[in-house]
Amino acid sequence: GAGVSQSPSNKVTEKGKDVELRCDPISGHTALYWYRQSLGQGLEFLIYFQGNSAPDKSGLPSDRFSAERTGGSVSTLTIQRTQQEDSAVYLCASSFDLYQPQHFGDGTRLSIL
């Protein structure tokens, strides 16, 4: 597609459930990033991929968060046993390589009841 695509756009789930968020980056972009944005806040870095590899996972808030990327393309961010503090907008971005400006999707708005 022309831009970064994220799905679902909105997700409401009960506390304790697992959720999976998907990101489809721009074709040919080797770098992919996940961020979290709470209302009125800046972007909190979670993880980045160079190809299928995630060199730095230290931004993930807890071991309930995991991410993978397959085929150098689609990425999924999984949150297990969701908590209310996980409620936020989760943004995905991709770039041609690590030094290039990032192109963002419109995010998944996650609400934990």
Partner 1 sequence: SQKIEQNSEALNIQEGKTATLTCNYTNYSPAYLQWYRQDPGRGPVFLLLIRENEKEKRKERLKVTFDTTLKQSLFHITASQPADSATYLCALVESNYQLIWGAGTKLIIKP
Q: Which residues bind partner 1 (CB under 8 A)?
A: 4, 33, 35, 40-45, 48, 55-56, 59, 91, 93, 98-99, 101-107
Q: How far is the CB of 109 from partner 1 (least distance, A)?
A: 8
- CB neighbour class for 82 (10 Å; exposed up to 12, middle 13-18, buried from 19): buried
Straight-line distance from the first to the last Cα atom of the chain, in angstroms, rounded to the nearest whole number: 33
Closest CB 42 distance from partner 1, rounded Å: 4
**Minimum distance from residue 45 beta carbon to partner 1 (Å):** 5
Residue with smaller CB distance to partner 1, 80 or 103 = 103
Does the N-terminal peptide bond of residue 61 adopt cis geometry, omega within 30 degrees of 0? no
